Structure formats: structure tokens, C-alpha cells
Amino acid sequence: MRFRVLSLPSIHEDAVRILESVAEVRMNTRDRSLTKEELLSEVGDIDAVIVGGEMVDEDVLGAARNLKVVSRFGVGYDNVDVGAATRRGILVTYTPGVLSDAVAELTMGLILCLSRRLLRADAFVRSGEWHRGGRFPLTMDLVGKQLGVVGLGRIGSEVARRAKAFGMRLSYYDLVRNPGLEEELQIEYLPLEEVLSRSDFVSIHVALTDRTRKMIGPGELSLMKGTAYLVNTSRGGVVDQAALYEALKERRIAGAALDVFEREPIPADDPLLKLENVVVVPHIGSATVETRRRMSITAAENVTRVLEGGSPLFAVNPEVLCSR
């Protein structure tokens, strides 16, 4: 009997072919994410599932009696109960590295949106203000400005490389220092408090864990300069969104750019959306044709390797391999 694989996100046709070489492939044909009830009804006989942002909790894992691998289509896996999967001998995999460039490019794009007020400039022209003789206010150079990177991993280091090309000064905070990157990128390690207080732009690049949840809260925001900007392309839960709203509303920081939110999609009536000093985009960090193809192939190869009795490319809980 062939394996059965369920793919919840839309994946590239090249990845589908990889999966079809070993399994029957079922796709989510709905133009939306599955509800939990729908997911529970789908997973009963599957051997592998590729997931986007869907929650894979104890209930889902318990309903999937044949499940061998949960393949996360992305770099974060906070929506998967890794502990429960490990107890059941189910591998959890993910797709790091292949999306670092895309997220770093978006991060720099958001920094440019903030520094040059690009969205306001677009509205200035479209509204006819320029035609009526209005003068758009002066904006900010990036050359010589300080970028503080919180989390110098795969994505954070790529952001630092791009920022260096713009002539920005660099500092970072991470739980683990990286002397090699410090020398290569001329980036200074500082405690988090000093990164926040010295930087003109603070860019967040950490995974969402119990330790990092709301790591940027009222106290941390109060350390930032009144002229500074916060950029978050990691996970919404890393920033206390209510505290950020208050800091932006009261102009205690100059602005923010967000690709991620505590609740996604962000509700249409969220007060954050009424502020003019925040740029918001709909979690599109990896949303390029090229990157999504690479992510699809990596997610598929993680699945096929496990189903064929091997090791995945990227395992979150490799200890499961030792118990086979």
C-alpha cells in the first residue's frame, strides 16, 4: 500500500512530483486554511502532513493514527506541539535557509519604507497634493544609521549583510555570540538593552518560544529612542502588540513596520491599523515565486526521506530518529 500525504498549503508542482514518487498526495482544495474540525476529519489515515500555519496540537496528532512526519512549510514551528509529536514518535521537520534571502529582502524593503516614507509619498502623489504645489517632507538617509539586529541567525545575518551594503552601522543581540560573523560583518555584540537604546532601527529575527514571547514589551520599547523604528518579520508573538500600539500612538518611538502579528490575519478593526506611523504587510516574508518553490521542494524531500526510512534534511526533534 502506498503512503498517503496531505498538503495543507499550496505547494509547487515540482514538489508534488517528488511526493507522488512515493505516495498518494491529497491537497487542500479549499481556498482557505482548514478549520480544526476539518483537519481532524482529514488526518485519520495519512502518513505525512505538510502544514502552513495550521495548529497541529495533541488532538490532531492523536487523530492521525498512521502519522510519521509533520513537515512544516516554513522556518517557524510554534504552531506544532513538538513535545506531543516527540512522545508519539512523530518527526517534525521544517525548511530553514531557503527563505532567508526573501525575508531579508523584505526586511530591508520595510526599513526603506520607514526611512523614506515611501507609502506616504505614494499617497501624496495619488491624492493630488504634489500637483497642487504641496511639498513632501524631508526623510532620512540610511548611511551612518545604526541597525540593531535581535537574533543573528540565518535571516538576521542576511539582513545585516544587506544593511552593511547600505552603509549602516551594525550591532546585535543573541543568546549565543558569533565571533566569526562579528568579524565578517563588522557587527558589534551588545546586551539587548543597549541594542534597543542605541539603534535607529531595531529588526527582530528570533523564533517564538516561551522565552521570547513578548520579549519586546513596554520596558523594552521605553528604551528605544524617540526617533527609532521597530521592524518585525519574525513572529508576531515576540512583540507585545498592545504595548507597541501605545508606544506608536503616543509617538514614544517614530514608527514600526510589521509583517507578522499576534493574531493572523490581523482583525480589520485592530487599532494598530488606524495609525499612520506603522507599515503593515500580510506575512509575506517568504512569498516569492522562487522561495516558495524551494520551500516546497525542501518540505517534500523532508517527507519522502522519512517515509523511505531515512533522515529528513531538517529535523526539529531529531531524537525521534534515535528511537526508531
Which residues are marked as active site?
A: 235, 264, 283
Residues whose CB is less than 8 angstroms from the CB of residue 204 and which lie 6 or more positions away in sequence, other chains included: 150, 151, 216, 230, 231, 232, 233, 234, 238, 239
Model confidence at 303, pLDDT cuts 50, 70, 90, reads very high
Average pLDDT value for residue range 260-268: 97
Q: pLDDT at position 120, please?
A: 97
Q: Taking Cα atoms as reference points, which of 83, 71, 132, 85 lies closest to residue 295?
A: 71
Q: pLDDT at position 324, please?
A: 73
Instruction: Please tell me the distance from the alpha carbon of residue 62 to that of residue 43, in angstroms, as a whole number.
Output: 10
Asked if pLDDT for residue 255 goes beyond 80, the answer is yes
Instruction: Please tell me the distance from the alpha carbon of residue 302 to that of residue 174, in angstroms, as a whole number.
Output: 28
- The x, y and z cell numbers of residue 145, run together, are 544609521
Buried/exposed code over 11-34 (b: 16+ C-beta within 10 A; e: otherwise): bbeebbebbeebbebbebeeeebb
Secondary structure of residue 120 in the 3-state scheme: helix
Average pLDDT value for residue range 113-131: 98
pLDDT digits 0-9 by tens, 54-79: 999 999 999 999 999 999 999 999 99
- The x, y and z cell numbers of residue 22, run together, are 512515493
Asked if pLDDT for residue 1 goes beyond 80, the answer is no
pLDDT digits 0-9 by tens, 30-62: 888 899 999 999 999 999 999 999 999 999 999
Asked if pLDDT for residue 211 goes beyond 90, the answer is yes
pLDDT digits 0-9 by tens, 145-185: 999 999 999 999 999 999 999 999 999 999 999 999 999 99
Dihedrals phi, psi of 90, to nearest 5 degrees: -100, 125
Q: Cβ(170)–Cβ(164) under 8 Å?
A: yes
Q: pLDDT at position 175, please?
A: 96
Domains in the chain: ranges and CATH: 3-96+289-322 (3.40.50.720), 100-280 (3.40.50.720)
In the chain, beta strands by DSSP E: 3-7, 23-27, 48-51, 69-72, 91-93, 146-150, 169-173, 187-189, 201-204, 229-232, 255-258, 278-280
- The x, y and z cell numbers of residue 245, run together, are 500600539
Q: pLDDT at position 323, please?
A: 80
